[in-house]
Structure 1
Amino acid sequence: MGVVRDHPELALFLCLSLGYLVGKIRVGPITLGGICGTLIVALLIGTRHVSVNDDVKTVFFALFIFSLGYLAGPQFFANLNRKSLRFFALCLVELVCVLGIAFGLAKAFDLDVGTASGILAGAATESAVVGTATEAIAKLDGLSPSQISQYQGHVATAYTVCYLFGLITIVLFTSQIMPMLLRINLADASRELWEKMRGGVRGLEEDEREALPRTVGRTFLVTLADGRRIGELEASRGGAVTVEGVKRGSRVLDPAPELELILSDLVQVVGRRAAIITAGREIGPETPAVPGLDTPLATRQVAVTEKATAGSTIAQLEQTHPEFRKDGVYITDVLRNDQHLPASAETTVQRGDVLTLVGARAGLDRLVAKIGAVVKNDTTDYIYLGLGIVAGSLLGQIVVRIGDIPLSLGTGGGCLVTGLLFGWFRSRRQTFGAFPPQAANTLKDLGLAIFIACTGLTAGPQAWPLLKEYGALLPFAGIAMVLIPASISLIIGVKLLRIEKPLLIGAIAGQQCSTPAITSITQVAQSSVPLLGYTITYALSNFLLPLTGPVLVGVLGA
């Protein structure tokens, strides 16, 4: 243990590796997860008085919270509309309940500010509250350094116990008990809702691709289209097909609109699959690929930046820009806030959407220049990332006093706000500020894991005395702070908001920011439909819940 004590970097990564190993232990549908496992291991190692410099904790928490905000930003602002207002009400229920219960427990049992904050963070299963509350405690007036360290240690210990019981409660309540209370079979209800929303079309899983893609290329031998011009042939299909090449004997001809086809020409046609099949009946029999005639198609991911495009359907967009039909460019996918939408004629395009365009390179380049900009998301823009964290740190230094109560976002809250804004702004114009989702998720997970390990190591010596003092209270708080807001949300969601039941169950898991809960729910539902409700409340609560830490600390600290 002396080696670990002398080398903090060894202690940190030992906590991570052993913690994530502990987090893989499964009991029924429940796993602790890597973060809770890391905290348990860190508390145990911390009892041997192993510690890490506090600056390490601050830096990694800033990386975590900014990445969290950056990923949630586009969806958070997209959900600030009338349609999502009913889901926003569920998040308000969560906020009011957890703050009220934590404050009530603190007053009833004379809890210190650290223990109360840890109960709030753990029972709400929101790890970010640990960071925002810990920072807020360090800024309280009238506390000695030893008191600050003690209260911050209490945050980690109370969080660990309450998180464990809160996690078990939210998983079982949402996936097992709620469907019984609502008197539904979750799998059947999810399937029926999906068929209603999609007209009976099943969605694709992450590892699936369409067996019959919408945009295809085919080669035909001219037997029926003798004497027809290419422009006439394309017009007869309403611009849904484009002739990309013609081979006559050994010569490859330019497929100009006025070119007249003759018997035995080989014609390469690209377009919508249904239109290609119909066009083939007018041209002649399909042939295998012909050497020299296989014109390659390019693909571009284009962010829509043209203001006039916002609110247009794909059909209207293709009419506004005749280059689609003239140059044979097709929209094959619409990506909005990490959600793939069908590229059908009636799909509405919004500013910031990413369209996947497929077509001949020359025509594709001309069209891209008119409707948007090519998405650049291959490497992280560290200028944008650094400026965002700097701005968040500065914002967090601002202290606002309401009477005797000092309120401050702290580094965590400030970086969360700037992360949301920077992520949203990037989604509007995706020509700069790249932060690939894989990189953002890695920094988010690593940042939180290192922060939690540092917190656990510091709190280790104070864990056992706190458990002896409040041992029975912490499990009770963890269960109550899940059941009360979840039950109220269930009643409001059914009676007042009339949210579809599979979406409501997912939304309640989202208001609690519980990834294990939604994982269990989707397994029971055998469908991803509950995710549609989960993503809305998850994005809102991920921003709002971390702010409850400084609020509770400020009120109790006063």
Structure 2
Amino acid sequence: MDFLTDNNFLLFVIIALGFLLGRVNIKGISLGVSAVMFVALVFGHYGLTVPHTIQTIGLVLFLYTIGIQAGPGFFASFKKDGRRLAVLALGVMLIGGLITFLLIALLGVDSNIAIGLFTGAMTSTPGLAAAIDITGSTMASIGYTVAYPFGVIGVILFARLLPRFLKKNIKDAEEQFEKETAKDHPEIKSRHFRVENENVDNQKIRDLNVRQLTGAMISRIKHKGIAATVQSDTIVHKGDFIRAVGTEEALERIEQVFGPVSEEEITMEKNHAVRSLLVTNKEVVGKTIPELNMFNAYNAVITRIRRAGIDIVPDSRVKLQLGDKIVVSARTVDMPSIIKIFGNSNKDLSDTDFLPIAIGIVLGYIIGNVSVSMGDYSFSFGLTGGVLLVGLLLGRTGKTGPFVWTLSGAATQLLKQLGLIFFLVSVGANAGNHIVESFTEYGIELFLYGATISLFPMILIVIVDKLWLKMNILSFLGALAGAMTSTPALAAVDPMTKTNAPHVAYATIYPIAMVLLIIIVKLLCAV
């Protein structure tokens, strides 16, 4: 029965118990996957140790997949919300830094310990490393150890309970987020029109530049009762019926160019097919629809791209991603060739190539260790910042040469969940190893100071959001986790929603908060 005391065995016991505890729901409140950390905290108190490598592997996998997942929407979010998210990050760090300064100046707390309290309250290992490097003292690690447990547990509980305290409905927030996202990607519709504009009579489709002029696509035409797929040399005649696909705005322009809306339906013959195809061929990933020249090669019309539940107009700016679902209208005889171009293989989609993942993480390590000097100060992103930054950039890029950086939804979810579990087990066990000793040696006073540094900035930015920013609660929770540089808090928020709203906000604000934290640590060290 020696296996009962084996740490590897206990690791999975913690995970199993954590998931069981996480499913307990009391008046709508549950811990979810973050319960794994609370179970690990108890086991850690009784002597369980988890190798730091487990925490590092978990952290790297979790942050890298967050970056890959959030990358495509990160830059648009930064452009749209970067300023107000930067205000949140600045507010959190300035308030935390000010409280730390007051502890030193008014209450006589040792400056090194106080700075450690600040970095522990923000659960920032890079900040602690910067403090120890500048001061040459390990006293900061004492404050870090005391403040860290509440910095993790307190922020998690705050994030989990905040929606209930503010009486926010998560489903309503998800719908709101989806509506806001839909504004950037309006609904794709199809409509039939009767050609009555004499200016387009006897004109070839390719000469009309329909896509450039209206933003819509003409997929079918009926001339003298005969339906056909639109080809580049198809001639439009007055009295014809056409079927166009596009956004509401684009279809309104079609009406202005060709003629009024018609109830006439254009039903295709058996030699024509409309198929939904999965993009699984890596050769087309990263390319736009015009680059594939499908219209001229096969007279095929791609009417829409469905990505993450959103329909996207396949214009010249949209690059295909692995797992996209496209709607193709073409002759039945050409469909096998078109399928070969895009792949349409569930098996290929489920196969995960780990080489790009490994390369991406290696690049993250390298970027994280690059130090930039600014006079007497130096700055580096650290492991967490480097891996997240590279994940964001590669997620945005999609493909470089033979390497496809993006992952299928299933692969992303699996790696993210695995990394998250390993990270939470390690954080909980290692915090549990020292929590009682920290209280015994340094008393409750330092713990309360650390809790104050954690709580006050969060309470204040909740007030700022309620009075001024009025963010979607899911985006706010992600921003809160990022502003506190708290990956465990993001882990606690992650199971609350099926959307990536918290991830995008977290990924947007985290790098800003991390830079500000290290600057404030350096300023406090100079006091």
TM-score range with shorter-chain normalisation? 0.5 to 0.7
**2:10 pairs with 1:18:** no
Contact 2:368 2:381 in 1 (8 A): yes
Q: Report the equivalent of 1:479.
A: 455
How well do the aligned residues superpose, as a CA RMSD in angstroms?
A: 5.8
Q: In the superposition, relative to structure 1, how do residues 91 and 461 fare at CA in structure 2: closer, same or farther (>3 Å)?
A: closer
Q: Report the equivalent of 1:333.
A: 305
Identity of paired residues, percent?
19
1:425 deviates by 1.7
1:351 deviates by 4.1
Contact 2:118 2:450 in 1 (8 A): no
Look up the SS of the partner of 1:26 in the other structure.
coil
2:70, 2:309 → 1: CA distance? 13
Q: Report the equivalent of 2:122.
A: 120
Q: In the superposition, relative to structure 1, how do residues 98 and 423 fare at CA in structure 2: closer, same or farther (>3 Å)?
A: farther
1:461 deviates by 3.1
2:330 to 355, 360, 376: 360
| Structure 2 unaligned residues grouped into runs of 5+ | 192-203, 211-215, 235-241, 256-260, 482-488
Q: Report the equivalent of 1:223.
A: none
Contact 1:66 1:416 in 2 (8 A): yes
1:297 deviates by 3.3
Look up the SS of the partner of 2:404 in the other structure.
coil
Q: Could you report, residue by residue, the CA deviation over 1:488-530 in whole angstroms, capped at 9, with x for unpaired residues?
A: 3444xx3xxxx6x5x455543332136677998x99xxxx9xx
Q: In the superposition, relative to structure 1, how do residues 429 and 541 fare at CA in structure 2: closer, same or farther (>3 Å)?
A: farther
Q: In the superposition, relative to structure 1, how do residues 271 and 429 fare at CA in structure 2: closer, same or farther (>3 Å)?
A: farther
Look up the SS of the partner of 2:304 in the other structure.
strand
1:43, 1:61 → 2: CA distance? 18
Look up the SS of the partner of 1:80 in the other structure.
helix
Q: Report the equivalent of 1:395.
A: 367
1:9 aligned partner, one-letter code: N
Q: Report the equivalent of 1:297.
A: 275
Q: How does 1:132-147 map to 2 (within 5 A)?
A: 132=126, 142=136
Q: How does 1:377-526 map to 2 (within 5 A)?
A: 378-400=350-372, 407-426=379-398, 432-467=404-439, 469-470=443-444, 471-473=447-449, 475-491=451-467, 494=468, 501=470, 503=471, 505=473, 507-513=475-481
2:21 aligned partner, one-letter code: V
Q: Could you report, residue by residue, the CA deviation over 1:449-469 in whole angstroms, capped at 9, with x for unpaired residues?
A: 212322332332320133462
1:16 deviates by 2.0
2:117, 2:3 → 1: CA distance? 32
1:55 aligned partner, one-letter code: T
1:333 aligned partner, one-letter code: I
Q: In the superposition, relative to structure 1, how do residues 61 and 34 fare at CA in structure 2: closer, same or farther (>3 Å)?
A: same
2:460 aligned partner, one-letter code: I
Contact 2:303 2:329 in 1 (8 A): no
Q: How does 1:54-453 map to 2 (within 5 A)?
A: 54-81=52-79, 85-101=83-99, 104=102, 108=107, 109-110=109-110, 111-121=113-123, 129=124, 132=126, 142=136, 153-154=145-146, 156-167=148-159, 170-172=162-164, 175-176=166-167, 240-242=218-220, 281=264, 295=273, 297=275, 299=277, 301=279, 305=287, 323=295, 327-333=299-305, 335=307, 338=308, 340-341=310-311, 343=313, 350-352=317-319, 356-360=326-330, 378-400=350-372, 407-426=379-398, 432-453=404-425
1:422, 1:194 → 2: CA distance? 24
1:22 aligned partner, one-letter code: L
Count of residue pairs the alignment pairs up = 462
Q: In the superposition, relative to structure 1, how do residues 106 and 461 fare at CA in structure 2: closer, same or farther (>3 Å)?
A: farther
Look up the SS of the partner of 1:30 in the other structure.
coil
Look up the SS of the partner of 2:69 in the other structure.
helix
2:336, 2:141 → 1: CA distance? 59
1:194, 1:442 → 2: CA distance? 24
Q: In the superposition, relative to structure 1, how do residues 349 and 89 fare at CA in structure 2: closer, same or farther (>3 Å)?
A: farther
1:303 deviates by 5.5
Q: Report the equivalent of 1:265.
A: none
Q: In the superposition, relative to structure 1, how do residues 377 and 239 fare at CA in structure 2: closer, same or farther (>3 Å)?
A: closer
Q: Could you report, residue by residue, the CA deviation over 1:162-188 in whole angstroms, capped at 9, with x for unpaired residues?
A: 225533563345x33xx8xxxxx9999
Look up the SS of the partner of 1:242 in the other structure.
strand
Q: In the superposition, relative to structure 1, how do residues 116 and 414 fare at CA in structure 2: closer, same or farther (>3 Å)?
A: same
Q: Report the equivalent of 1:124.
A: none
1:420 aligned partner, one-letter code: L
Q: In the superposition, relative to structure 1, how do residues 410 and 188 fare at CA in structure 2: closer, same or farther (>3 Å)?
A: closer
Q: In the superposition, relative to structure 1, how do residues 551 and 172 fare at CA in structure 2: closer, same or farther (>3 Å)?
A: farther
1:444, 1:518 → 2: CA distance? 10
